[in-house]
Amino acid sequence: MSDDGPAIFAFTDGACSGNPGPGGWGVVLQAREGDEVVRVRELSGGEPQTTNNRMELMAAISALETLTRPTRLSVVTDSVYVRDGVTKWIHGWRRNGWKTAAGKPVKNEDLWKRLDAAAAPHTVAWEWIKGHAGHVENERADELAREAMAPFKKKKSARPEDVGSLGR
């Protein structure tokens, strides 16, 4: 990594049980000096009824909103939706009054506007990585997202017919 590269990395992920359903998001923020990680901060949150795309967006938003001053950073996501939305589609949406090229309302417009505002003071490099491929920070962000989702998942009780001949 060169000295002029980002010193902050935000690894983000979202999760949803059902789509829509209970969801969570997770962020691993790292401050680096050269290749050495000098500080780590983890963030997470969840909602009882949401979608995976909304949780992916919330992870990126939360990473950016937690920064207290303009920063040069890399946001690393396994979401093609977030990466393409913020690097390709958002410019046209803004220009078209938050309508798609087909003239339809942009899905998750509220969060896209929030992401746009959160990114504005920063110099952000948006990076995509393959999810669930053993990338340590991405796996940790996924774990945080799933932990944040857990309180919203309804526990199912066993029905007598599901137990069957257990214990016989």
The answer to whether 164 is a known catalytic residue is no
Please tell me which residue in 5, 34, 42, 132 is annotated as part of the active site. 132
Cβ neighbour number for residue 62 with a 10 Å cutoff: 19
The answer to whether 3 is a known catalytic residue is no
* 53-76 tens-digit pLDDT: 999 999 999 999 999 999 999 999
Is 35 annotated as contributing to ligand binding? no
The answer to whether 132 is a known catalytic residue is yes
Indicate the average pLDDT of the chain: 90
pLDDT in the model for residue 163: 46
The answer to whether residue 64 sits within a structural domain is yes
- Residue with structure tokens 């589609």? 89
Q: Fill in the DSSP letter of residue 58.
A: H
The answer to whether residue 132 sits within a structural domain is yes
The answer to whether residue 104 sits within a structural domain is yes
- Percentages (nearest 5) of helix, strand, coil residues in the chain: 35, 30, 35
The helix-helix angle for 52-65 and 136-149 (nearest 10°) equals 110
Is 13 annotated as contributing to ligand binding? yes
pTM of the model: 0.88
The answer to whether residue 137 sits within a structural domain is yes
The answer to whether 13 is a known catalytic residue is yes
Domain that holds residue 46: 7-152
The answer to whether residue 100 sits within a structural domain is yes
pLDDT in the model for residue 132: 87
Is residue 30 within 8 A of residue 40, CB to CB? The reply is yes
Is 116 annotated as contributing to ligand binding? no
The answer to whether residue 160 sits within a structural domain is no
Percentage of the chain modeled with pLDDT above 70: 88
User: How many CA atoms are closer than 13 Å to the CA of 59, on its beta-carbon side?
Assistant: 38
Q: Fill in the DSSP letter of residue 167.
A: T
Our count of domains for the chain comes to 1
The answer to whether residue 165 sits within a structural domain is no
* 68-103 tens-digit pLDDT: 999 999 999 999 999 999 999 999 999 999 999 899
Q: What is the CATH number of the domain that holds 108?
A: 3.30.420.10
pLDDT in the model for residue 166: 44
| E strand or H helix at 65 | helix 52-65
The answer to whether 84 is a known catalytic residue is no
Burial class (CB in 10 A: 0-12, 13-18, 19+), 126: middle
